[in-house]
Structure 1
Amino acid sequence: MSRSTQSLCLFCQHRSLLYTSQQRSFRPWELSRSMAQVQRPRRPSRMTLSPKVSRPPTRTTPSDRPIGRRTNSPFAGMNQKYVDLRRQPPARSRAETSRTSRGRERPQKERETFHALKMQSALAPVSYGQRASTKEKISGTDSFEDFPLLRVVKESVFSQALAGMEDVVPTPVQRLAIPVLLGNETRAARRRSSSSEKKEMEQFLLAAETGSGKTLAYLLPVLDAVKRAEAIEAEIEAKKKAQEEEERKNANYHALEPPPLSNAPHSTTGRPRAIILLPTSELVTQVGNLTKLLSHTVKFRSALISSAYSGKVIRNRLFAPTGIDVLISTPHLLASISESDPNILSRVSHLIIDEADSLLDRSFAPSTSTVIDKSTPSLKQLILCSATIPRSLDSYLRKRFPDMRRLVTPNLHAIPRRVQLGVVDVEKEPYRGNKNLACADTIWSIGKAAAEHTGDTADVKRILVFVNEREKTQEVAEYLILKGIEAIALSRDTPEQRQIETLSAFTMAKKESVEVVSKEISAELRNGPNYVPLGSKTPATSTPPPRRHLPNTKVLVTTDLSSRGIDTLAVRHVILYDVPHSTIDFIHRLGRTGRMGRRGRGIVLVAKNDRRDVVREVKEGMFKGQALI
């Protein structure tokens, strides 16, 4: 290569070589293509990692919006740190501040309220705006005299139902429900209902906290309707007899008619006007006692039937020659009777389903629906009553009864502030994980403190201990007996005759007549088959007498059998041996104390595997007076 060629740049040398080798001229587009091939960057090797490997994936779009996870992909459930079965939006970090629609910041504590209870999602929410409006609506009623009840029904409240009480004032649920169930509407609503040819069945859901007097809230309007219908029928019957007598006088001859039979059955025999359905025989006895008390003044015929009575007793009560107006029963028994005698539901105008959250669940729903369907043609009012509204009941009512009117008190799903909640850590000293020992020590502390405070050795302290499994009731009761505590086990395995006798010791009678009724029922039960005396034991299960004894203290170890509707007015202390599975069980178990405005105390025994976060949130909600979820 010459010296002139070496002085050229590489580009010029390459060009000169091309020209000399090919001995021809290149076009412009061919030169640009060749230079592009020279300047093209080399591709990286397949084994070379990308510089973005160590960077986290972007979680927001360019507009700062979170990237949603695809749920319709077959790989949507992979590579997740937390279970997201319900596809709820991910919780924001504490560093992120949430803003409302108006742009105001919301505090962190407000967002994390009831975090553990929200995981259960057992109860239907009730807005605080609805609670406030209801509270303002019922604030103007201060006495039973303000209700448009019959005079005889009002007198029965003071003389029978609430006898012995100094200040007889209606509770919030009674102020809310009684005027509505009586049909106190505006003039325009009355004109619309009177103009319609056929009146539709009225549907009501009565929801109030435990111990608030729901039984009296629906029983007084029903008895008022029964007495008014009885008066109308008596007037119609009198006019009919007068017309027949007038026709007989105007006739040319008098036909000989046979005299009426002296033992002829009443026209209402086996055909009640009102039916009250309850889940257990204990509740049937309790509501039946109150109904019999009111019948002394209001003068109507009532009967209570359940599986605790023999078939002969049930038949004599239901088909009594004097007739029947109000029937208190369980759904299974009444549904089975209606299959053989459908005429028993042909005259029902008022149907009350108490403890509706239990009677409309999987076990009771078929029998309850059968009774509702057979009594619908003659039904005027359907009243559902409950202390809680679970989500399952809420969805069932929206599908089956979309027009149902809901009467909800301001304190629904809230445990009253007058009930204090204490927590005992079983894992600490001196218990070391022994729940039985912690339960016995707590009962001894309550018994001694109450005796020292009152100084009355004749007053009996009654304590309820709730467990989750019925097999545990007998075990805990036997352990408490060994520690000198008078304890009785009550579960579904206990004979029904003994169940009523056991619960009668933990319910306070309001009057001597209630005690008489309870004694009559107990006498009928003793005459029944397979009766086992209370407190009897076989020699094989007898235990040696304890060294010391806790006087004037009675303990009932039970399951949720005794947490539904039982009027345990004499119980001041409730011990939760096991942490309840849901918020509904918390409300019903703690609702056995602090009833009718009285103070009470609940104690939870928390072990190693129990949900401490749930207990903590329930305690905080009770302290703040908030409704649980």
Structure 2
Amino acid sequence: MAYLLTARRTCLRLRSHEFVSGLHSSASAQGPKLRPRLAKSLKPAFNRGRLEVARFDRDEAPHHGRQGEQEQEVSEARMQRQRRATLAEEGRKGKWSSESLEPAIAQKAPEPIERPVYKRKDLDYEATAEDEEFYNPPTLVTTGGSTEISASLKGAPTRFNTPPLLPGFVSALRETLGQDVRPTPIQSLSMKWLFDKEPAFEWNQFLLASETGSGKSIAYLLPVLQHLKETEGSKPPPTPSSRPLNPRAIILAPTHELARQLSGFAKSLLHSEKLRVVCASQANTKSQTTRDATASQMAAQFDSLMGGGQGEFAVHKNAHPVDVLVGTPMKIMEMIRGRGWDRREMTEEDATLDPKTLRRGRDKMVGVGKWRSKPELGLENVQWVVVDEADVLLDPDFQEVTRTLLADISAARGHQVPVDPLPTSPTEKLPENQDVEYPFHLVLTSATIPSTLARYLDAYHPRLIRLASPRLHHLPKTLQTEYASWTGGNKNADIEKRIRRVWAEDALAVASAVTPVTSLSKILIFCNKSSKVEDLSTFLAEKGIKNVALTSASEERKRGSNKHLFGFLRPLRNSQLQKPAPLSNVTPTNPGVISDPSKDPHVMITTSLLSRGLDFDPSINHVLIVDEPRNMIDFLHRAGRSGRAGQTGRVVIFGKSKGRGSDKAREVKQRVRALV
């Protein structure tokens, strides 16, 4: 419906509600925007690939199937008694003789009881957001079905043992995750398929799809690191490279924060089985390289810029060979082709070119100059490429850089792969018979499979082996959902009230806790806009709640490390990896006493920037979503920052429960209910 804001700040309805059905913060100016859809099914479209869904087999309980029979027997006996009583009463009235009583009962068969039968509904997953069918996906395997292609975990490892793992990885896992750690379904499937000693193809392609917090990082790190260790020094590179870095595996992540966390976790697995892991993310630190430099000069420049430290990249001329490189696609492309590789520069002949078509921060006007740094990354040795959060990196907005990087690696290894532009419309058909074969192992991972990604995989990777968790596209079982209503006043005050309620519950738990509790719960708040993040952060700070606000433009992201997230990300158990001292403003000021949120940050406010892949500390058991989710894909990733790895958690969704605008809140509830 359309609204008119009057002088008294009241809202009048002008026309029908169709106007606001697609209303969005940005869509109102840009026209209607298609809502991302989850894939109907992970089943390969051309029957060339393979889909395996994790499902643990177990024997049926002794009473399985007997409940219905018992109910039927009890019902039949009850009907017999009622019939006997009726016939006896009629016999006393002369309608029946005593001799005809029993035959009458025998002749009258009990009527069958009608029981409700569950019929699976044929759903239209391409329906609009207003369609009721969109909000009722089947609950068996995925939101699209694939129930007819289910497979058990027979033959898959149920423990992290030797074999198939090397002893060093088993000890590292137990040291990092605990002595009783067991693989999740997606990790078991990974060890079953990615450790295959006799694969059908020389270079394999895999998709690991499972819910948030299910351990996808371990699922691909273990086979990648073990293969690199087993083949270490066995095969010389096809052609030696003169570049300083020549990794054998590349892991791509959508953000610098995730790249640093992945590299740190990979290092925690390599205490016994030695391999070198380098993180390329520098978090947008400006380069001061104005001329070509040698490896030693570049090393001195990087050391002076970054000062060393965890998660930072440095080039050393006599360093050990690099085995694994972790970074964002754009950063790694800069290391391959040099900074500014994708810049367009206006010349005198481009006088008619509209300057607005230039990309802010990337393209340059005429006369500004050129980047001249030399490439520093060789690709001839690459045997593995992992695309983490593939639904983001292969999204229409980012797929060009990711596919160009994969094509460069393929070309360096002697196999040219074209990078054709993909259709921009979701209704436009993708080209057929365009199979892409890369000369390296390709692993894609994601917690959500949008329909656009499913179409891309069917068209370009039909033989992809798809390994799926049984709870894909669902919230973790240990995560509870709660709905909070706006009071109609200051929304920031409602958020503050909810935060203090969480801490009040913690204080009550401290009084009854058997073991001493010294810290209040930490809370993660997601907003849709950076301006909302800054406004809420200022409000809470004025109310005595110290917090950390992080957006894409925050200065803290330019430090080249994850120190600005200390206290919120899950720490590694090995103390050797935690050399950087914690910041003074996030350390409890009174050890042994319950922490003070007015002095130590217990609240982090951010956008979807930190919703992808990051493993947050278990103390973050509350996630507040204060803006309406743009789509369920975004909601799944935001809510999935809590309730990870079997830990309990709670996601609180704010909305209007009654009055104008409450339809949106009810719609969100219905859509979230389908994901539980």
Question: Which residues of 2 match residues 33-72 of structure 1 at below 5 A?
Answer: none
Task: Kindly provide the CA deviation profile for residues 182-237 of structure 1, in whole angstroms up to 9, marking residues without a partner as x.
Answer: 1255xxxx6xx5xxxxx553111111111111111100100111011115249x9x
Question: Which residues of 2 match residues 548-627 of structure 1 at below 5 A?
Answer: 554-570=602-618, 571-607=620-656, 609=661, 611-622=664-675, 625=676
SS of aligned partner of 1:602 = strand
Tell whether the 8 Å contact from 1:153 to 1:223 is kept in structure 2 after alignment: no
Question: Which residues of 2 match residues 30-109 of structure 1 at below 5 A?
Answer: none
Say whether 1:151 aligns with 2:171: no
Question: Which residues of 2 match residues 492-531 of structure 1 at below 5 A?
Answer: 492-495=552-555, 496-497=557-558, 500-513=562-575, 516-519=578-581
* CA deviation after TM superposition for structure 1 residue 283, in Å: 0.6
Say whether 1:214 aligns with 2:227: no
User: Where is the helix percentage greater, Structure 1 or Structure 2?
Assistant: 1
Q: 2:328 maps to what in 1?
A: 330
Larger displacement relative to structure 2 (175-184 or 322-331): 175-184
Tell whether the 8 Å contact from 1:203 to 1:382 is kept in structure 2 after alignment: yes
Structure with max Cα Rg: 1
* CA deviation after TM superposition for structure 1 residue 417, in Å: 2.3
SS of aligned partner of 2:250 = strand
Say whether 1:485 aligns with 2:503: no
Q: 2-side partners of 1:284 and 1:584: how far apart?
A: 21
Q: 1:288 maps to what in 2?
A: 263
Runs of 4+ with >4 A deviation: 104-125, 265-269, 548-553
Task: Kindly provide the CA deviation profile for residues 328-348 of structure 1, in whole angstroms up to 9, marking residues without a partner as x.
Answer: 111001112211438611110
Task: Kindly provide the CA deviation profile for residues 309-339 of structure 1, in whole angstroms up to 9, marking residues without a partner as x.
Answer: 6752577347653211111111001112211
Q: 1:178 maps to what in 2?
A: 191
SS of aligned partner of 2:226 = helix
Q: 1-side partners of 2:224 and 2:388: how far apart?
A: 14
User: Quick one: which amino acid aligns to residue 448 of structure 1?
Assistant: A
Task: Kindly provide the CA deviation profile for residues 337-383 of structure 1, in whole angstroms up to 9, marking residues without a partner as x.
Answer: 21143861111000001011111123321221121011125433000
Q: 2-side partners of 1:318 and 1:210: how far apart?
A: 37
Gap change, CA 1:458 and 1:551, over 3 Å in 2: farther
Tell whether the 8 Å contact from 2:585 to 2:599 is kept in structure 1 after alignment: no
Say whether 1:348 aligns with 2:375: no
Q: 2:7 maps to what in 1?
A: none
The counterpart of 2:276, out of the listed 269, 276, 301, is 301
Q: 2-side partners of 1:418 and 1:490: how far apart?
A: 27
Larger displacement relative to structure 2 (395-404 or 141-150): 141-150
Gap change, CA 1:465 and 1:320, over 3 Å in 2: farther
Q: TM-score scaled to structure 1, two decimals?
A: 0.65
Tell whether the 8 Å contact from 2:547 to 2:603 is kept in structure 1 after alignment: yes
Tell whether the 8 Å contact from 2:335 to 2:377 is kept in structure 1 after alignment: no
* CA deviation after TM superposition for structure 1 residue 301, in Å: 1.1
Gap change, CA 1:116 and 1:109, over 3 Å in 2: farther
Q: 1-side partners of 2:599 and 2:376: how far apart?
A: 54
Q: TM-score scaled to structure 2, two decimals?
A: 0.61
Q: 2-side partners of 1:362 and 1:285: how far apart?
A: 25
Tell whether the 8 Å contact from 2:569 to 2:617 is kept in structure 1 after alignment: yes
* CA deviation after TM superposition for structure 1 residue 404, in Å: 1.5
Task: Kindly provide the CA deviation profile for residues 586-626 of structure 1, in whole angstroms up to 9, marking residues without a partner as x.
Answer: 1001100000101000111103536223322244335xx4x
SS of aligned partner of 2:161 = helix
Q: 2-side partners of 1:400 and 1:504: how far apart?
A: 40
The alignment yields a C-alpha RMSD, in angstroms, of: 3.7
Gap change, CA 1:320 and 1:176, over 3 Å in 2: farther
Question: Which residues of 2 match residues 159-170 of structure 1 at below 5 A?
Answer: 159=175, 161-162=176-177, 165-170=178-183
Gap change, CA 1:514 and 1:606, over 3 Å in 2: farther
Q: 1:71 maps to what in 2?
A: none
Larger displacement relative to structure 2 (319-328 or 336-345): 336-345
* CA deviation after TM superposition for structure 1 residue 436, in Å: 1.0
How many residues in Structure 1 have an aligned counterpart in Structure 2?
453
Say whether 1:415 aligns with 2:449: no
Say whether 1:471 aligns with 2:531: yes
Q: 2:451 maps to what in 1?
A: 391
Tell whether the 8 Å contact from 1:266 to 1:322 is kept in structure 2 after alignment: no
Identity of aligned residues (%): 31
* CA deviation after TM superposition for structure 1 residue 178, in Å: 2.1
The counterpart of 2:252, out of the listed 251, 272, 277, is 277
Tell whether the 8 Å contact from 2:524 to 2:623 is kept in structure 1 after alignment: yes
Q: Structure 1, unaligned stretches of length 5 or more?
A: 1-81, 87-103, 194-198, 237-264, 524-532, 536-547
